[in-house]
Amino acid sequence: MGVFDGLHLGHQAVIGTAVEGAGRSGGVAGVLTFEPHPIQILAPGRAPRRILVSLEHKERLLASLGVKVLLVLRFDETMARQSAEEFGEHLFSVAALRQVVAGEDWKFGRERRGTMDLLRELGKPHGVEVTTVPAVMLKGERISSTCLRRALRDGNLRAASGMLGRSYTVMGTVVRGEQLGRKLGAPTANIMLGNQQLPPDGVYAVTATIGEERETHRGVANLGVRPTVNGERRLLEVHLLDFEGDLYEAGVEVYFGLRLRSEKKFKDQEELKKQIRRDLEEARELFKQSKAGI
């Protein structure tokens, strides 16, 4: 159980414990999570403006960790008023439940009064094992969604990767854009992302997996407002190297690697065109040398 925003190594430790328990008992591992993030209801003024993973993205990542069932509880004012004891009784009424796993400091119920010790006591009459998982540390600091969000905001992708155990990714859908990339010699896929957390604006070496088949391609991404062409909205545009085809409406997961440069305004589109060619050459060389950071 948990919110699992980001699915960092701390979250993975909780999920891994549940998957192991399911293997021992011949059961099925599931995740119970909440949507939206409870802090958006309990303290909206303190809620992060951006999420680290969308629900669809979370479902894909959980499946890769061995989770077979995802149960999403809508967190609203009614649930916020539910006492810890009420929440526990509802949880343990699930007949086939054998084990519940959460972080050692996980809290639940009205005013967050429920602790893992209380949950353990509530589970005993039902024969449910309650397992706590300690925090995962990295360089002496507890891994958390807050630390991960800070690393991404600061552009520290190496630190973010260390907390995730993988490259940071975002997931979205390719939408039709203004086709400016085609005119500049590098057609791009415009990715609609919603309110996912992104690193600082700039040009990145990336890989992208396309569709349900998860076909993987290397590429270069531009994240920003495109000042040379008087752009206004922040966009993520991805040019796939040596790719031909129609990507409109396709689901895409983008893996951020090395940041090649910051976004800047060029004198004109011709100068921008030359820089794009240099960006593509640099990315190709980095991929060739396995130094793209992905």
> Mean pLDDT for each consecutive 10-residue tract of the chain (294 residues)?
95 98 96 94 91 93 96 95 96 92 95 96 96 96 96 96 96 83 75 92 97 93 84 87 90 96 90 93 97 92
| Percent helix, percent strand, percent coil in the chain, to nearest 5 | 35, 25, 40
211: alpha, beta or left? (left if phi > 0; alpha if psi -120 to 50):
left
- Alpha-carbon distance 278 to 50, whole Å? 32
Nearest to 136 by CA among 279, 46, 282, 9: 9
SS3 12: helix
* 9-145 and 168-288 agree in CATH topology: no
**CATH superfamily membership of 168-288:** Riboflavin kinase-like (2.40.30.30)
In a 10 Å sphere around its CB, with 0-12 CB exposed, 13-18 middle and 19+ buried, how is residue 36 labelled? middle
Break the chain into its structural domains and give their ranges: 9-145, 168-288
- Alpha-carbon distance 100 to 18, whole Å? 7
What is the model's pLDDT at position 278? 96
| Four-CA torsion 125, 126, 129, 130, nearest 10 degrees | -80
What is the model's pLDDT at position 19? 98
Query: Does the domain spanning 9-145 belong to CATH 3.40.640.10?
Result: no
This prediction's pTM: 0.91
Nearest to 86 by CA among 116, 132, 33, 122: 122
What is the model's pLDDT at position 259? 96
What is the model's pLDDT at position 177? 76
